[in-house]
A and B are shown apart, each in its own frame.
Chain A
Amino acid sequence: MKKNIIKLSFSLLILFVFSCKKDSNVFVPNNGEQLDSAWSSNITSSNQVLILSKNLESSFTAQLLTSAVDTIISSSSGFQIIFPSGSFLLNGAAVTQNIKVEYKLIQNKGDFINYGIPTVSNRIPLESGGALFIRITSNGQPVTLSSNKKILIRFTDTNLKQDMQVYYGNELTVTNSLNYNWVLATDGSNVKLWEYTNVTPALKGYLVETLKQGWVNVNKVLETGQPKVEIKTVLPDLFSNANTAVYVVFKNYRSVVQLSGNLSTRTFSAPNIPSNQSVKMISISKVGGSYYLGVKEEITATNMVSFIKPELSSLASIQAYLKTL
């Protein structure tokens, strides 16, 4: 018994002596700063790439109007929106109160990235004459257009393209560009060219008649006469489809295509890209609380795989760069 007590005492003593703890150094990222470099098959609003898209989104211009008379909203750049009188309904009844109109005309390629509306229809690149967003509300409630009433939109463009058509965006509000798709309008909306030569230089542009609110785009399928190829891009392992969006911006066309992430190959790719085109591969990422911007100029070609190395940046810097496109 005594021997057992002695053995137990010394065992405890030895255990006590050698039970030393190790130093620890633990870094706990702030909320939203966690490293998320895993590829995902299902991008949700909690993923950094969608948060990034929201952060890049710019605001819309808002204006109050009376619905009783024909109203024209115009700007010095030649942008005009014409609302015919009595064209608005609120819960099926004519709106007699003032209405609020929010609108935005996008013609800069960078803005297509900012607002997350790449010019693609069913994975086919489009060439845009300009995209317009219109949203009409009355006391915060959405207002619809009366049947057979059209909103007329006129805006200028220095490089007019023939055979333009009206496309509607699939979302009323700006969302992530990953699934964004333009759909050809079949409701009688149309687009016409106009030119005003009494001033120097002469003004010319498009006149769009639309029956819908939301995103309206003047597009046509991008045709360069070159064969279509699939292009791919690779980024460092830090970046994945969950935190990065990659775009192809054509140098000679108002066309912006977003590459989709491939989980198995960990690459971004886009099909139906005309070959032999001068493009900029642009990646924007949000990893944790950090923003990254990657830019690489390429000539599209068959089996093209472009490696982009994003650099640490900021939201403001990314927005400023996109303005220059």
Chain B
Amino acid sequence: MTDKLFDDFVKDKLKSYDSGAPMHVWERIREKDKSDKKGFFFFRRYFLTGIALLALTGIAYLTWNAVSNNKNVKDYSTKNEKIKIQQENKNQNSTEINKIQKAQNINTGTEKEEIGKASNIPADNQLQTENVENKNNISTSVNTSTAVIKDSDLKYRNKFNQTVFNKRVNNKQSSITFITEDKNPDLVMPSVKTVVKEWALNFTDPAAFKFSKRNFNIGNVPQPNNKPSCPTISGPRRNDLYIEVYGSPDYTLRSFSNTSAFNGYVAQRKTTEDNRNGFSTGVRIAKNINEKMLLKAGFNYSQINERLRVINENEKQLTQIITIRTIIRAPGDTLFIRDTTYFEQTGTRYRTFYNRYRFIDLPIMFSYEFGNPDLLSFAINAGPVINIASFYKGSILDTGYNPVQITTAKGSAANNWRHNIGIGFMGSIAVYKRMNERLQVFAEPYFRYNFKPVTQNSNVVNQRYFISGMQLGLRYNLHNERQRFR
């Protein structure tokens, strides 16, 4: 009776007890967890993605910042449009100015000569035309501004300061209000000064302001003494954002580094493997940092192709032959035959493996551009190439000269290659040809070298690649109708 009570007590206590999984099961789970983490590569992938995001974010920030800073540029553009509208009245105004010239010719011979020079402005010279247009704006400017500009540059800018005159042109009525002469520049040039001031107020960049005060010439191409940020006649400083798509046939050079003990193995590898060339393709974003420098970042997919040919003589081959037959010996007496026979042959086996080594990279390139974008422009590019992932398909010879599949498993065998080949260096020279306002085609011979081999450190030989090629692609400007570097 007592025993039964004790049994019931134990049974009651252990009724819901879970014996748990055996210890070896937990060991297996722990092993699986370790293998799932994929080691350093697992971490590196996020690291590289972070770098890529940082680069792209930087480009986006530069783009946004440039847009914000050029807010006044829009105002300026508006004013230009306004000037252009007023330019329609230019011919009429020119007629009036001619009348003024005639009037001046009557007064002094010197003035006649100077004004005559001014009236011979070529029609296609936009810069000079602006000067004329500014004169047309005088009446409006005087009404809206009370500031006085004391700038000796005005004397330099305006060749009329020797024969100072004061003009007032009523644009609305397209007629001359009055014309006076004065020896004092401060008194005789209020309207011109006011126009320059308005220009200056629209430039947030002091360099732009300074440049605006200079005398504009036809075909003004920035010279080395020009500030890169200075605007040209057609707009403010450069603010381009390109997207580039390209493809490239690649030529690869392979190199081995090994101990002398494996010279024979390397020689055999060189004999049996040959280069089949490869290709690259990619997409990247390019954002200008200043007038000539650009930062490029994107994704590049490249593939190296090789061929391994293995010839094995006196190899045995077994062929399986399956026989299924039905023999009717007599009515009602049927023989069913099912048989498998193996047939052995001796011969030569020719095996060809088309190896494909694939790399996904993040190239970050610094580019220096020069030339004339309307004709041909050029760029010199250089920067690091960060490998995101590497994939291999194919076979190579092992040290026994037998073909084995390339793997990314850890080990010291010749076929143990890297998941990630790390950082490399890339350099190129590009030629751009404009197709239209937005589109350019480019050809870009380049080279790339990865510092790490594709093989793992513990391998009997180390195998590296130097890749060169010719990227051919399209470049599309996402910021159209912006000022371009000339």
Interface residues of A in 1-49 (CB under 8 A from B): 2, 6, 9-10, 13, 16-17, 20-30, 33-35, 37
- Chain B proximity mask over A258-272: 1 for CB below 8 Å, otherwise 0: 000000000100000
Task: Given A303-B329, A305-B335, decide whether A9 and B472 contact each other with a Cβ distance below 8 A.
Answer: yes
A28 and B435 form a contact (CB under 8 A): no
| B292-347 with Cβ < 8 A to chain A | 314-315, 317, 319, 321-323, 325, 327, 329-330, 333, 335, 337, 339, 341-347
CA distance A310 to B341 in the complex (A): 9
Interface secondary structure of B, over-half rule: strand
Q: Is B211 an interface residue (CB 8 A)?
A: no
The answer to whether A289 touches B345, judged by C-beta atoms less than 8 angstroms apart, is: yes
Q: Which residues of B contact A16 (CB under 8 A)?
A: 247, 249, 279
User: Smallest distance from the beta carbon of A6 to chain B beta carbons, Å?
Assistant: 7
Hey, which chain B residues are within 8 Å of A37, CB to CB? 321
B323/A25 in contact, CB under 8 A = no
* A56 lies within 8 A of chain B by Cβ: no
B344 touches A20 (CB 8 A): no
Given A2-B435, A16-B249, A307-B335: A290 touches B354 (CB 8 Å cut-off): no
Interface presence of B353 (CB below 8 A): yes
Query: Is B26 an interface position by the 8 A CB rule?
Result: no
How many CB-defined contacts (below 8 Å) exist between A and B? 106
CB atoms of A13 and B354 under 8 A apart: no
Contact (Cβ within 8 A) A28 B343: no
A54 to B327, CA, bound (A): 32
Q: Is A187 an interface residue (CB 8 A)?
A: no
Q: In the complex, are the beta carbons of A236 and B342 less than 8 A apart?
A: no
- Are B319 and A28 touching (Cβ within 8 A)? no
> For B341, what are the chain A residues with a Cβ–Cβ distance below 8 Å?
236-238, 309-310
B44 part of interface (Cβ distance < 8 Å): no
- In the assembled complex, the CB of A242 is this many whole angstroms from the nearest CB of chain B, namely 14
Given A2-B435, A17-B279, A307-B335: A238 and B354 within 8 A (CB)? Answer: no
- CB distance A22 to B345 under 8 Å? no
Are B345's CB and A236's CB within 8 A?
A: no
Contact between A35 and B281, CB atoms less than 8 A apart: no
Closest to B349 in A: A27
The residue on A at minimum CB distance from B309 is A24
Indicate if the CB atoms of B346 and A22 lie closer than 8 Å.
no
Judging by beta carbons under 8 Å apart, are A305 and B329 in contact? yes
Residues of A that sit less than 8 Å from B by CB: 2, 6, 9-10, 13, 16-17, 20-30, 33-35, 37, 232, 234, 236-238, 267, 287-290, 303-305, 307, 309-310, 312
Closest 6 CB pairs of A and B: A29-B347, A13-B247, A236-B323, A236-B341, A303-B329, A237-B323
